[in-house]
Chain A
C-alpha cells in the first residue's frame, strides 16, 4: 500500500467493477462510511483491489431476506479508517458465492461460519468443513421462515437515513420501499429452532 492508494475512496476503487449501487453513508448514524451492492462474480476482484489498497476484512454477515439470501462483507482500513459494507445477493435455491480466502486469508473462517449458519457454499474455500457447528448437523440455524422474512429495504432503506447515492444502476430496485412491509411484520413469528426445516431442507 502506498500513501496514494490509502486515500483512494471505494467509489473510485470499485468503479471498474460497475457496482449496482454505491453510497456515501453517515458513520454517526450507521457506523458505515460507504456501502455498495456488487454482483457475486465481481467479489474476488473487489477483494483483491481492496487488499491492494490496504483494506482488511472485518467480518462476513449472512442475511436472510425476502429477496433471497445476502452476504454483507465489512471492510475497514487501518491507515485511513472508514467502514465499507459490500452487499451481495445470493440465490436461495442455489446459494453459492466465490470464495475470497485466497486473497484475504482471514475470509476462510468467516466463509465457513456463514456456510454453517446459512448454507451458502463458498466455491474455492480451501477447507469447506463446518467451522462452528457439528459435522452432519441438519438445518441452518439463521435461516428464517418465509413468513418472518423482511424485505431488504425494511432493514437498509429506512426513512430518515441520509445516504448520498453515488452510483445506481438502471433497474436496481433492491432498496425501493416495499409496499407490503406491514403485513410481513405482523406475520413475524419466530419459529422454534427445530421447526425450520420446512423451507431449507
Chain B
C-alpha cells in the first residue's frame, strides 16, 4: 500500500530502506526493481536478471526471475527500455503528422497500427473510404500479417536453438517485403494508409506479384511442416509448456493467437467487423491444448487463412479510386468527440481511442497494444516451469517490445 504522496516522488532505489532500518543498496547490486524483487525472495533462492539485452527477450525486455534450482518460483518483467511516449506525441501532432509513428509502434505488423489509427480518425470525422482502398488495405495488411508470422516463426526457432529455419523464413519474407515496398515505399516501418484511402494505387506489377506469391508460399508450407513442425525436438520443447487456461486469458485481457491457442475463437475481424472482411471466406483457427505448441499451430494456420483472404481480395479487387475524392487535406481538424477503433493485429486486438475537443491536435490518444496484455500473463504462466521453458513461453507470446512499451 502506498499513498499518493509516495507516488508523487517516485522511488529512486530501495523502497524498503527505511522500514528495514538500512538501505539495501550496499548488499544488493542493481536498481530499485532488483532490490524490491530480491527483498521478496526466499533466502535460498537464486535471483536471475534476464535481459534487457538477452537474445530471447526480442528487443529490450528485462525479466527478473527467482529460481529454486532450475524452477521458476517468481517472475517479473521490467518494461520501459523502449518507451517512446507515443501517446504524448499524439497530443502534440495533428493526425497526419502522427501517422509515421504508427509504422513504428509495432514494426512487424505496422499496417495493422496504421489501420487502427486511420480507422479511429475516420470514424470520428466521418471520412468515407473507396471500396478499392478497403480491398488494398485488406491485401497489404494480410501480407504484413504473414511477414510478421514468418519472422516470429524464424526467431522463435532461433530462441529454441534451431538456426536454419529463420533462413527459410527470411527467404519467403523477402518476397513479401518487395511486394509491400511497391505499395508503401518502405520495407518495414510502413505508414501508407491515409485518412480516406491508401497512399498508392496497386500497380499491375503488385497485383501480379501477389498472384504469384500466394501459390508460392502455399507450396512452401508443407516443407515448413515437415522440416520443423513435426520435429520431435521442437515438440518436446514446447508441447504442454506454458499452459494458459481460458480464464487467464480473460483476467489479463489477452487476445490474438494467445487467446485462440487457448480455444477461444476471438478475432476482431469477426467480433467487431470492420472494412470488407465480412465478404471473404476464411476460418479463425483455434487450438484446445492451451500450450506453446497450440499458439505455434494457430499462427501457422493463420498464414494459410491470410493467403485465402489475399487470394479472394485480389480476385475481386474492384476498379476505382484509391483515395476518396473528398478525403481531407493533411491539415484538417478533427471534430470534437471520441472514437474507439479496434483491429486484429498479428499479436491480437489493437485498439486506438481518440478523444478530441475540436482543436488542431487530438486531446487524448490511447494506444492499446495486444502484446502488453499478452506479456502481462507471463509471470503467472511461468510460475513453476523450468528456466528453459521461460524462453519457450516468452517466444510463444510473440512479443514486440516497442509495441508493449510504446
Contacts and interface: CB of A to CB of B under 8 A. Distances in A.
Which of B31, B91, B252, B353 has the largest number of chain A CB atoms within 10 A?
B353
Contacts of A27: 272
Contact of B12 (A136, A188, A190): A136
B8 to A, nearest CB: 6
Interface in A94-116: 94-96, 103-106, 108-109, 115
A56 B251 contact: yes
Contact of B10 (A85, A124, A135): A135
Contact of B80 (A121, A130, A154): A130
B91 A128 contact: no
B87 interface: yes
Interface stretch (B147-155, B221-229, B363-371, B389-397): B363-371
A58 B253 contact: yes
B376 A135 contact: no
A142 B87 CA distance: 8
Interface residues of B, number: 66
Interface stretch (A10-18, A28-36, A37-45, A166-174): A28-36
Contacts of A59: 253, 351, 353, 366, 368
Interface in B63-114: 76, 79-80, 83, 85, 87-88, 91-92
A129 B364 CA distance: 24
Nearest to A75: B253
B356 interface: yes
Interface string B348-382: 01010101111101011010100011001100100
A109 B32 contact: no
A90 to B, nearest CB: 10
Contacts of B164: none
A96 B88 contact: no
Q: B80, B120, B264, B377: which has the most chain A beta carbons within 10 Å?
A: B80
A106 B359 CA distance: 33
B36 interface: yes
Nearest to B406: A132
A77 B291 CA distance: 23
A125 to B, nearest CB: 8
B340 interface: yes
A154 B358 contact: yes
Contact of B253 (A28, A30, A57, A121): A57
A189 B177 CA distance: 41
A105 B251 contact: yes
B400 interface: no
A31 B76 contact: no
B340 A32 contact: yes
Interface stretch (B46-54, B206-214, B293-301, B331-339): B331-339
A30 B377 contact: no
A71 B246 CA distance: 27
A61 B79 contact: no
Interface of A: 27-32, 51, 54-59, 61, 63, 72, 74, 78, 81, 83, 85, 94-96, 103-106, 108-109, 115, 117, 119, 121, 123-124, 127-137, 141-142, 150, 154-156, 158, 161, 184-185, 188, 190, 193
- List the 9 closest A-B pairs by CB distance, nearest first: A31-B340, A106-B252, A150-B357, A136-B12, A81-B271, A61-B366, A78-B266, A56-B253, A59-B368
Interface of B: 1-4, 6-8, 10-13, 15, 31-33, 36, 76, 79-80, 83, 85, 87-88, 91-92, 120, 123, 249-254, 259, 264, 266, 271-272, 335-342, 349, 351, 353, 355-359, 361, 363-364, 366, 368, 372-373, 376-377, 380, 405-406
23 contacts: A29-B339, A31-B339, A31-B342, A51-B251, A56-B250, A59-B253, A72-B366, A81-B271, A83-B340, A85-B340, A106-B376, A119-B7, A121-B4, A123-B1, A123-B2, A127-B36, A129-B33, A133-B83, A135-B31, A155-B336, A155-B337, A188-B359, A190-B92
